[in-house]
Amino acid sequence: MVVIGDTPHDIACARVIGARAIAVATGGYTKEELLAHEPDGLFEDFRHPERFFEWIETIR
């Protein structure tokens, strides 16, 4: 299971339920702020969705 979100709360949510956390810096938090919460993956946006799908393939 993967939780995708743009806040530290989304990352925490993923941890609580044992899911992978994907942070996307499209909201009110910068990449650096999101990285401080140690997501499994971090994307600036999804303008290039193939990068996300490549990442998904690495965790299978």
Can you give the pLDDT at residue 34? Answer: 98
- Name all domains of the chain by residue range, CATH numbers in brackets: 2-58 (3.40.50.1000)
Please provide the DSSP assignment of 33-54 as one string.
HHHTT--SEEES-SSSHHHHHH
Can you give the pLDDT at residue 59? Answer: 78
Closest C-alpha among 26, 33, 28, 30 to residue 4: 26
**pLDDT, tens digit (0-9, with 9 covering 90-100), for 22-31:** 999 998 999 9
**pLDDT, tens digit (0-9, with 9 covering 90-100), for 5-55:** 999 999 999 999 999 999 999 989 999 999 999 999 999 998 989 988 988
Its pTM surpasses 0.85: yes
Q: Nearest 5°: CA angle at 32, between 27 and 11? A: 60
- Is residue 21 within a helix (H) or strand (E), and if so which, with residue range? strand 20-24
